[in-house]
A and B are shown apart, each in its own frame.
Chain A
Amino acid sequence: MTVNVLQPGLSTTVQDLGRPGFYHVGIPLSGGMDRYALIAANLLVGNDDGDAVLETTFLGPELQFLEDALVAVTGADLPPLVDGVEQPVWEAFSIKAGQVLSFDYLRSGARSYIAIAGGIDVPLALGSRSTYALGGLGGYQGRALKAGDMLSVGPAKRPAGPGRGIGPELHPPLPTVTELRMLPGLYWHRMTDEAAANFFEDVWKLAPEADRIGGRFRGGRSPKLVDRPQPFGAGSNPSNITDACYPYGSIQIPGCLEPIVLHRDAVSVGGYFMVGTVISADMDLIGQLPPNAKTRFVKVDMEQALEARRAYRRRLDRLRASLS
């Protein structure tokens, strides 16, 4: 089964659940930024959780299907069109040979997941089909899709048909002011008490150039740091540390100006202090923030972080149960 890429959209990449195990040599996890939506799209078309799908950002692609196929689109509210006729999101639908899948304008969210029964069939690279564009690794020739690319799709794994959907109670919320829960730590102690309080008080806005590596937030007050002589090797700016390994979701503040949250294609090592880490349960949410999305950071402790993780799991279990 083959899909012809007529238009690639703004940034459309092949992603699965990622490539763990190589962060120590600078190859990040990659994989869908919104993993819940990725898994949901796969389950709707009868795929396994971690089959490869297309992740598309803001502006969807135009894809011509050369054979009949079953498709589902989840994540952002980016309405799919089959030969111009609108199809539901979070629900499987059929496409006939020769028809074109395109997208209407984005209504909310940022990233959509397009699953095709059988999964996108690109070669495995270090155990994953995810695209890591910075390193030219995985996915379709190590890069985002271009017009003229021909995507192979594997054989369907189990029977599934159109009309199977996921109710709105199981769609993740897309609030107007997003709260990102974070666990303070790492180099949190570098900030003054006042700067620490401001960090949680201020409303931040996601800068438009946010990508799979990370997102920068603007609009809050720049933090003041506790004075200290700079340690050998750290560099001259007070926001510099001796280059260290960056956790996924870690929040760094280069030049004490604007916080950056690292995501699935994180740069693994760098020399900027970090004030803490967005909890695992809220990482998907970052993938759905549109440009200028209003955001607050909310302080949690480890117990709350683990409870949020359990709640995320329970929602996934309900999703699975609703489709079985």
Chain B
Amino acid sequence: MKPRYSFGGDEHVFVEFGEEMSLEGFFASMSLTNAIRDSRIRGVTEICPANATLLVKYDPDVISPADMMGEIRQLETAAEKTEPVLRTRIIEMPVYYNDPWTHETLMRFRDRHQAPDATDLEYSAKISGYDDVSSFIGAHAGSPWFVSAVGFVAGLPFMYQMVERPLQIDVPKYLRPRLDTPRLTVGHGGCFGCVYSVRGAGGYQMFGVTPMPIYDPRQELNYLRDFMIFFKPGDIVKFKPVGREEYDDTVRRVDANNFEPLIRQVTFNLEDFHKAPTACNQALEGILHDR
């Protein structure tokens, strides 16, 4: 994959691995990210992979823009030859789909939606060719997702589902953005899933909520004590549909600070995945549940 380079003013180098979203583009961005981090090029202040792009911020008083781009190009040639293998973690995230809070919110902003007479789930299921909402939820929770970027606002994960392209959920965003989205809403726009880390405006379709906070600026939650943001690019997420009872129970455990997310270390090989996506995903799920 031939990347495209551009300067973002005098302080940024921007790299795009293809115009479209793809696992290859995401992997190329991740391996170049790791190569730049390991190389410790002087002057670099931020290394930000996002989906199929990468942004490097640097201090032009320390390294000239031309030298900075030259260093990155060299690393890219080397990174291209490394195996597309990612050592990462898989996380189970409980989701209460079709919950009352996102439902109340989506009803308030129906005038901004393509389908004012349907819910976001009904609309998304229909245009994705599913018979009903429950089979759509089945697909959403059935295969794991890569965290392909973390951002927009603090700690918000963009997620890309680990299925072949014809199975990708691809739904438009709201016609006009909502002014409100409940905190921890599980949303979807274009080919990307997301979890809203904080309450706020948003344009993604709303499918449910997770009881598991992913951003804690006070760093009081036991699993966010070391760092206030839960996700990092490259994480793998498996959604687990839960009902009201388990949702409420998990919220109680979070409030009592004795909830621990289920996390396992895994190695993901993109070539193995392309050979047999379903088997690869089943193996990941096996590791998650110690089977």
Q: Are B51 and A242 in contact (CB under 8 A)?
A: yes
Chain B hits for A302, CB < 8 A: 7, 10, 65-66
At the interface, yes or no: A155 with Cβ under 8 Å from chain B?
no
CB nearest neighbor in B for A246: B55
Residues of B within 8 A of A235 (CB): 172-173, 189-190
Number of A-B contacts (CB under 8 A): 190
A245 to B196, CA, bound (A): 17
CB distance from A256 to the nearest CB of B (A): 16
Chain B residues with CB below 8 A from A182, complex form:
9
Q: Kindly specify which of A45-53, A65-73, A133-141, A198-206 makes contact with the partner chain.
A: A133-141
CB distance B20 to A125 under 8 Å?
A: no
Q: Would you give the shortest CB distance from B216 to chain A, in whole angstroms?
A: 10
B side interface size, CB within 8 A:
59
Interface segment among B75-83, B87-95, B129-137, B144-152: the answer is B144-152
Task: Report B-chain residues with C-beta under 8 Å of the C-beta of A280.
Answer: 9-11, 60
A231-B156 Cα distance, complex, nearest whole Å? 23
A26 to chain B: closest residue by CB: B151
Contact A134 B149 (CB under 8 A): no
B266 within 8 A of A: no
Of the stretches A17-25, A85-93, A215-223, the one at the interface is A17-25
Given contacts A245-B151, A306-B10, contact A233 B192 (CB under 8 A): yes
Shortest CB distance B233–A (Å)? 7
Name the segment of A1-9, A146-154, A247-255, A286-294 touching the other chain: A247-255
Whether B11 lies near A25 (C-beta < 8 A) is no
Report yes or no: A135 in contact with B150, Cβ–Cβ below 8 A.
Answer: no
- In B171-212, which residues have CB < 8 Å from any A CB? 172-173, 189-192, 197-198, 200
Instruction: Output the least CB separation between B187 and chain A (Å).
Output: 13
Interface membership of B103, Cβ < 8 A: no
Q: A23-B48, A231-B19, A302-B65 are in contact. Are A245 and B165 (CB under 8 A)?
A: no
Q: A136-B198, A247-B12 are in contact. List 18 more A-B contacts (CB 8 A).
A: A25-B232, A125-B217, A183-B8, A185-B6, A185-B8, A232-B20, A232-B165, A242-B20, A243-B149, A243-B192, A244-B14, A244-B51, A247-B55, A269-B151, A270-B152, A277-B9, A306-B65, A309-B60
Closest 9 CB pairs of A and B: A233-B21, A247-B8, A277-B9, A268-B151, A135-B154, A26-B151, A231-B20, A245-B55, A269-B151
